[in-house]
């Protein structure tokens, strides 16, 4: 499936990302992350929850004072107190969140469908009067009755909202169900539709891509996939996958991903796993001999996309699974050209070292193997 459609990233690292258990950004860190996201071309970012109090409001106002090229969103419940503090923060958009599943409406709020629809009709116009664009956030949309969701979107649009956030709050959807539900909403409404996916089943990015294919106009992401519980759809995964799988443009510069990933990892105290897709330290590292041989013949043999797109390159290391091509490559990096025969003689030493010490042999070991391989074989 290919398309030239543009999809808008609304990155929520500074809101839902910070809701990761144990994560708390300082004001300086939030400003630095906001600047980095804007510099990368992220068009929208959700920057906080004003109802948390004066300190949160002060940081949001400081981000707004930066006059970044990105549109800023703040999050609040659909109630008078949250709307009042949201309108004082200098943001462009407010997400007014309300549960839309029968389970949460009844057992969290003790309310009914009519109360939800009446709240939308009441608070959306008030937010518009305050000069804010409005996104109606449908908490627990993935477990909501589809017919009721149609009513919610109709009420939101009639009240003046520009967007509906479909929140898979508990991360319970798969891509097939996501596609069907977003497609059904798209067929019934002209509102912008924003997908907010959680990763409880490891499907946040997949569900986000499915929503985009089904007609969602906006997607929520977080840097490194931070977020409540298992996290949210990762910014870096979503941008690269949308481009390479569906030819969807986000306007976000992948060359900025290593820098942003490192910044958020340090600020959050959550290191990035070495095998994390796109930004992990080892995702372009190769050991297996068949892969290294294929790469040296043509990089397309074993690369899904060019690592240069995110400012990286392939790295070949020696280990248990290395072949003679890897050995030749490693010695070439040292300025030594090996014959195939000599590489095959060195290879067992490399494998034995890797198994014994759980790491690649270093310069000293490689030079020792080289000198040993130059000696005549004992008769």
pLDDT of residue 289: 56
Q: Flag whether pLDDT at 299 surpasses 80.
A: no
pLDDT of residue 285: 59
Q: What is the pLDDT of residues 239-252, one digit of tens each?
A: 999 999 999 999 99
Residues 206, 188: Cα–Cα separation, whole Å: 24
In the predicted model, what is the mean pLDDT of residues 332-342?
88
pLDDT of residue 298: 67
Q: Flag whether pLDDT at 98 surpasses 80.
A: yes
Stronger pLDDT, 369 or 26, i.e. the higher one: 26
Residues 164, 333: Cα–Cα separation, whole Å: 54
Q: What is the pLDDT of residues 45-70, one digit of tens each?
A: 999 999 999 999 999 999 999 999 99
Sequence-ordered alpha helix ranges (H) in the chain: 27-39, 54-65, 80-86, 102-107, 113-129, 146-159, 175-188, 204-214, 235-246, 257-268, 289-297, 324-333, 340-357, 363-373
Find the Cα–Cα–Cα–Cα dihedral 225, 24, 165, 129, rounded to 10°: -150
Residues 115, 112: Cα–Cα separation, whole Å: 5
Q: Which residues of 4-29 are buried (b: 16+ CB within 10 A; e: fewer)?
A: eeebbbbbbbbbbbbbbeeeebeeeb
Residue 299, SS3 per DSSP: helix
Beta-bridge partners for 194: 165, 218
pLDDT of residue 377: 57
Match 């991360």 to its residue by tokens. 171
C-beta separation of 77 from 52 below 8 A: no
In the predicted model, what is the mean pLDDT of residues 250-276?
96
In the predicted model, what is the mean pLDDT of residues 73-82?
97
Q: Flag whether pLDDT at 286 surpasses 80.
A: no
pLDDT over 90 percentage in the chain: 72
Beta-bridge partners for 222: 234
pLDDT over 70 percentage in the chain: 93
95 is written with which tokens?
A: 């997400």
In the predicted model, what is the mean pLDDT of residues 105-131?
97
Work out the mean pLDDT of the chain and round it to a whole number.
Answer: 92
Residues 213, 179: Cα–Cα separation, whole Å: 7
pLDDT of residue 228: 94
pLDDT of residue 379: 44
Q: What is the pLDDT of residues 207-256, one digit of tens each?
A: 999 999 999 999 999 999 999 999 999 999 999 999 999 999 999 999 99
pLDDT of residue 347: 87
State how far Cα 205 lies from the chain centre: 7
């Amino acid at each position: 499936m290919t398309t030239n459609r543009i999809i808008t990233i609304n990155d929520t690292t500074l809101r839902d990302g910070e809701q990761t258990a144990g994560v708390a950004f300082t004001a300086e860190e939030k400003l630095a992350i906001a600047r980095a996201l804007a510099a990368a071309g992220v068009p929208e970012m959700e920057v906080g929850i004003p109802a948390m109090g004066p300190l949160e409001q002060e940081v949001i106002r400081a981000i707004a004072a930066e006059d970044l090229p990105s549109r800023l969103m703040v999050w609040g419940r659909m109630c008078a107190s949250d709307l009042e503090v949201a309108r004082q923060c200098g943001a462009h958009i407010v997400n007014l969140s309300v549960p839309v599943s029968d389970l949460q409406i009844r057992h969290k709020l003790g309310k009914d469908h009519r109360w939800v629809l009446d709240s939308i009709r009441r608070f959306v116009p008030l937010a518009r009067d305050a000069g804010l664009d409005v996104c109606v956030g449908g908490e627990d949309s993935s477990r909501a009755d589809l017919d009721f969701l149609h009513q919610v979107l109709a009420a939101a649009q009639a009240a003046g909202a520009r967007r509906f956030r479909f929140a898979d709050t508990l991360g319970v959807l798969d891509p097939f169900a996501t596609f069907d539900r977003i497609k059904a909403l798209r067929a019934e409404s002209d509102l912008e539709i924003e997908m907010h996916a959680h990763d409880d089943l490891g499907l946040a990015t997949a569900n986000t891509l499915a929503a985009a294919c089904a007609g969602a106009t906006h997607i929520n992401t977080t840097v490194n996939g931070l977020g409540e519980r298992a996290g949210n759809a990762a910014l870096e995964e979503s941008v690269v996958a949308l481009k390479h799988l569906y030819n969807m443009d986000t306007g976000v510069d992948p060359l900025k991903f290593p820098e942003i990933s490192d910044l958020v990892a340090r600020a959050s105290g959550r290191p990035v796993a070495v095998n994390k897709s796109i930004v992990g330290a080892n995702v372009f590292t190769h050991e297996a001999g068949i892969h290294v041989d294929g790469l040296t013949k043509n990089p397309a043999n074993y690369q899904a996309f060019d690592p240069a797109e995110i400012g990286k390159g392939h790295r070949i290391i020696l280990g248990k699974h290395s072949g003679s091509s890897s050995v030749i490559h490693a010695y070439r990096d040292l300025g030594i050209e090996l014959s195939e025969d000599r590489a095959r003689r060195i290879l067992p030493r490399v494998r034995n070292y890797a198994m014994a010490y759980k790491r690649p042999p270093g310069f000293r070991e490689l030079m020792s193997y080289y000198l040993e391989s130059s000696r005549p074989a004992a008769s």
